[in-house]
Amino acid sequence: MKINSLRLTLTALVLTTAVLCSAAAEGIESKIKNVKVFHSGAVIEREAEINVQKGISTIKFTGLPAILDKKSIIITRKENTGSMVLDYNFIPEERKDLKEIRIEKETAKAEKLIRSIQEKIKIHTERTDFYEGLKKGINSGVSKVYNTSVNSETGQIEDLIFKGVLEEKIKLNIYADSLKQLNSELEKLKAESDSIKYIPLQTLSVNIESKEPVENTFVIKYFISNAGWYPFYNMNILSKSEKSKLDILATVYQETGEDWNDVKITVSTEKPASIQTIPNLNGIYLNKGSNYKLGTGTYRELTENKKENVREFRIDELDVTDIKTDFELKNTFTLKSGQRSLKAKMDDIMLKTRYRDIIFLNKNSEVNHEAYIKNSAARTIMKGNINLFLDDEFKGKEKLNDLRPDDSLKFSLGSDKSISVVIELLDDKTEDQSLFGNTAVRKISYEYRLKNNGRNKRKIALENFIPYAMNEKVKIKILEGKWNHNPLNGKIEAEIEMNPGVEIKLPMKYSIEYPKDENYIR
């Protein structure tokens, strides 16, 4: 009885060992289901359905890239079935991708053909030399040496030799061309082989303990570099409305060594806290275009007289809103490792737009058409390249910096010379104010004459600059003309309406009062 019991125990042990060995020997291909791509790096999520045996089993997940961050590995089960992951380790794989295998086969085939052609060239070169030798023998009068192998009549011998030489040279030329073509193909194959960025693979070997045989789906997550994304935009300005359509698109690239086949892709504006672990993402908060951290601090504001006022504040009292940071791309996508990047639409939004015709008053004045587009969305539009369209017609490319909520973009939509501008200096004189102190007053007077040569009524903004004071001892005043004046930078502005064919005269007179022996004017 004891012997039978011992036999049963040994049999069970052998069977258990066989099962474990079988599970350990078989590799399981997991499938990538989801990818979250950051500006630099990505989190890969793989799944595999596994039949787990009772007891301790070793499961090998093959085909994982060797460059993944090993410390970031997370292994979970979709269902809590009583199985438990004990530990894991990585085993290097020696595997070549299909492209490398194809190149090796084509290279071997080309090299074999080259050797064959080289051998044929050698044979036909020897035959050509033989016929050339016969030809020389006949010409030197010693053709009798060859009378046993060719016709004894000299004319027939010469014809045969000529024909033989011609045929051999034709064959040599054909083989030489083939050899040249094959060598060129071989060089291309070698260049293609050198361009392959071979990223080695590895097997994830996992020891699992289960109380009973179960079927479960295991999920493997890890962080990997050599992947990323960046945004770009199509901006279509709709001139017949007060809106512009902004298409937000993503360019995704990856050279991870693994192909993303039919996967869900999410792009994220967050930065991983560390590449050593699955990223803990740091939130970004904005308030009127500025980044803040909770706490206290100071800020400086510049007043008109250039004095700095320092004011204390508490950030937690500000109206802070969180930014949406993840964008799940619609549908599923396939992106092979190292292939051209994937471009996909993330979103589209309508932005408020206003238009303005403006003339910068100078010698070459012309009407500039401008569009001001306000970010009326609730999130920041990230920096990137813009393809600019006007009523679906491509106008050019622009660069966009981060555009926060309520910030505006300005685009130039071209110009025309339908309004002529004449600038005339009427007067420029300096008055000595010595009776009232050590000061002088310079008075400058211009006249701007504008004429609408077009057929339509126009509303035009005008801009120019006059000197501005660098010291409180200098005083600049507008004496004549309805101009808005900014004393901090000397900018003057006005707005007019012009009917077709009408000429408008605008006076502009200002004064500069300053100490006679000093110069504070810029």
Position 322 scores a pLDDT of: 38
**pLDDT class for 506, splitting at 50, 70, 90?**
very high
183 and 128 in a common domain: yes
Least confident of 315-324, 364-373, 465-474: 315-324
**pLDDT class for 31, splitting at 50, 70, 90?**
very high
Q: What is the length of the chain?
A: 522
181 and 43 in a common domain: no
Highest mean pLDDT among 178-192, 322-336, 463-477, 494-508: 494-508
Token pair listed for 178: 């083939």
The larger pLDDT score, comparing residue 280 to residue 336, is at 336
191 and 102 in a common domain: yes
- Evaluate whether 351 touches 333 at the Cβ level (below 8 Å): no
Query: Which alpha helices (H) appear in 41-153, and where do they start and end?
Result: 98-139
53 and 108 in a common domain: no
The larger pLDDT score, comparing residue 94 to residue 495, is at 495
Highest mean pLDDT among 32-36, 469-473, 512-516: 32-36
**pLDDT class for 447, splitting at 50, 70, 90?**
very high
Question: Domain for residue 343, yes or no?
Answer: no
Question: Domain for residue 412, yes or no?
Answer: no
Question: Domain for residue 260, yes or no?
Answer: no
**pLDDT class for 128, splitting at 50, 70, 90?**
confident
Least confident of 132-141, 167-176, 252-261, 388-397: 132-141
Reference 125, options 175, 179, 168, 170; nearest CA is 168
510 and 424 in a common domain: yes
Highest mean pLDDT among 62-66, 239-243, 264-268, 325-329: 264-268
What does the buried/exposed string (b/e) look like for 37-48 if buried means 16 or more CB atoms within 10 Å of the residue's CB?
bbbebbbbbbee
Least confident of 126-140, 271-285, 342-356: 271-285
Rounded mean pLDDT, 85-102:
76
138 and 74 in a common domain: no
Could you give phi then psi for residue 472, rounded to 5 degrees?
Answer: -70, -10
3-state secondary structure of 271: coil
For the chain, the domain total comes to: 3
Measured N-to-C along each axis, helices 98-139 and 154-195 cross at an angle, to the nearest 10 degrees, of 160
Edge to edge, the sheet with strand 27-29 lists 27-29, 55-65, 201-210, 84-92
Position 7 scores a pLDDT of: 46
Q: Is the pLDDT of residue 306 over 70?
A: no
73 and 216 in a common domain: yes
108 and 47 in a common domain: no
Indicate which CATH number applies to the domain containing 466: 2.60.40
Token pair listed for 251: 């360019």
The rounded mean pLDDT for the chain is 77
Q: Is the pLDDT of residue 228 over 90?
A: yes
83 and 136 in a common domain: no
Q: Is the pLDDT of residue 17 over 70?
A: no
Position 34 scores a pLDDT of: 94
Rounded mean pLDDT, 71-95:
82
pLDDT tens, residue by residue, 322-371? 344 788 888 889 998 877 788 988 888 999 999 888 988 876 778 888 88
Cα 8 to Cα 1, 2, 16, 19, 119: the distances in Å are 11, 10, 12, 16, 69
- Evaluate whether 416 touches 403 at the Cβ level (below 8 Å): no
> E strands, 293-392, where?
296-302, 308-314, 321-322, 326-328, 333-335, 342-360, 367-374, 384-390
Rounded mean pLDDT, 397-420:
86
Least confident of 18-32, 82-96, 459-473: 18-32
130 and 81 in a common domain: no
Position 266 scores a pLDDT of: 92
Separation of alpha carbons 247 and 235, rounded Å: 6
The larger pLDDT score, comparing residue 82 to residue 270, is at 270
The larger pLDDT score, comparing residue 136 to residue 510, is at 510
Reference 335, options 255, 220, 226; nearest CA is 255
User: Kind and range of the H or E element at 196?
Assistant: none
Q: Is the pLDDT of residue 235 over 60?
A: yes
Separation of alpha carbons 46 and 62, rounded Å: 12
Q: How many CB atoms lie within 10 A of CB 484?
A: 11
pLDDT tens, residue by residue, 53-62? 888 989 899 8
Question: Domain for residue 93, yes or no?
Answer: no
What domain range includes position 126? 98-195
Question: Domain for residue 289, yes or no?
Answer: no
User: Kind and range of the H or E element at 164?
Assistant: helix 154-195
Could you give phi then psi for residue 491, rounded to 5 degrees?
Answer: -80, 135
Question: Domain for residue 162, yes or no?
Answer: yes
**pLDDT class for 170, splitting at 50, 70, 90?**
confident
**pLDDT class for 50, splitting at 50, 70, 90?**
confident
Q: Is the pLDDT of residue 248 over 70?
A: yes
**pLDDT class for 94, splitting at 50, 70, 90?**
low
Rounded mean pLDDT, 6-33:
54
Token pair listed for 165: 């030489």
Residues pairing with 310 in the sheet:
300
Question: Domain for residue 425, yes or no?
Answer: yes
463 and 495 in a common domain: yes
Residues pairing with 357 in the sheet:
369, 460
Position 435 scores a pLDDT of: 62
Q: Is the pLDDT of residue 142 over 60?
A: no
Question: Domain for residue 249, yes or no?
Answer: no
Amino acid at 500: P
- Give percent above pLDDT 90 in the chain: 24
77 and 147 in a common domain: no
Rounded mean pLDDT, 93-112:
75
Separation of alpha carbons 166 and 94, rounded Å: 53
Rounded mean pLDDT, 435-462:
87
Contacts of 321 (CB under 8 A, 6+ apart): 285, 286, 287, 378
Rounded mean pLDDT, 213-222:
89
